[in-house]
Amino acid sequence: MRIGLISDVHGNTEALNAVLAVLRAERVDAVFHLGDAVGYGAEPNECCDVLRREAQVSLLGNHDAVVAGLLDRSWFALHARLAAEWTTRVLRPDHLQWLANLPDMHREGSTLFCHGSPIAPRDFRYVLSRFEAQVIFGWMVAEDVRLVFVGHAHQCFAFSDTGEQPNVVDGIVQSELDIKQGCWVINVGSVGQPRDGDPRAAFGIFDVAHGRYQARRVAYDWQATAAKIRAVGLPDLLAARLALGR
Ligand code: ZN
């Protein structure tokens, strides 16, 4: 079984469609979405439509939680808060309902999928450092989990407990990891708003039987996405950053 792993679509239809086209061409068996379907982008309804149709698993992200009224928006930066308020206004009621009922985590055997850190998932903690990954490794042993896939940070990386240096996936080139041994915490990156300096949409393909993970990128029409963000009057920063992948 091969699973297409996507996260942080953030209302970006062009990026989502570009990624799904690759996953279709790759003939993956399932698509798992690790949260943040909405927020920042101008097409939350379109993205919810596509994800509800195409993803076998969808998880709750912090932006989804804020938009659905499950999480206080006051700790958001201003541009994120404005986008969340706009999204709540324009989102169809059935999509709001769908977001409000998304699960925090999904588990298959010893593999766990979550938006941020799986320890207290509703705290939406980022996993950005070796130290944070180390804390999760301890938790994973107790929970009998070997692989954790997350999103949330909008950056691609992988940490393993093999005692080596942090195994950071280079977001610029296509990378493939052998994850058959040891514990791993892998961030699949962001489809709709990458922040690692590469503007291309990020996603991953997890080959379950062979224990391999591929970090992938695909170019999409970010100019079209940026134009839509400006057209609906969302903060310009949200359009401008797409060109930079920041
Ligand atoms: Zn996000």
Q: Which of 146, 148, 170 is nearest to 157 (CA)?
A: 170
Which whole number is the average pLDDT over 213-229? Answer: 96
pLDDT tens, position by position, 45-67: 999 999 999 999 999 999 999 99
What's the whole-number mean pLDDT along residues 7-36? 98
Say whether pLDDT at 93 is over 80: yes
User: Closest Cα partner for 213 from 116, 113, 137?
Assistant: 113
Looking at the chain, list the stretches that DSSP marks H as alpha helix, in order from N- to C-terminal side: 13-25, 44-54, 62-67, 78-90, 93-100, 130-143, 222-231, 236-244
Cα 9 to ligand 1 centre (Å): 7
Side by side, which strands form the sheet with 147-150? Answer: 105-108, 111-114, 147-150, 184-188, 156-160
pLDDT grade, residue 163 (50/70/90)? low
Is the pLDDT reported for residue 172 higher than 60?
A: no
CA 28 to ligand 1 centroid distance, Å: 24
Between the alpha carbon of residue 68 and those of residues 59, 65, 86, 100, the distances in Å are 13, 5, 12, 5
The residue type of 205 is I
Q: What is the pLDDT of residues 106-124, one digit of tens each?
A: 999 999 999 999 999 999 9
Query: How wide is the angle at C-alpha 79 spanned by C-alphas 168 and 89, nearest 5°?
Result: 115
Spacing, Cα 75 to ligand 1 middle (Å): 14
Q: How far is the CA of 198 from the centre of ligand 1 (A)?
A: 16
Q: Over range 180-193, report the average pLDDT.
A: 94
Contact status, residue 219 vs residue 238, Cβ threshold 8 Å: no
Mean pLDDT, all residues of the chain? 93
pLDDT classification of 94: cutoffs 50, 70, 90: very high
CB 150 within 8 A of CB 132: no
Q: What protein residues have CB closer than 5 angstroms to ion ligand 1?
A: 8, 36
Å from CA of 113 to ligand 1 middle? 15
Q: Percentage of the chain with pLDDT > 70?
A: 95
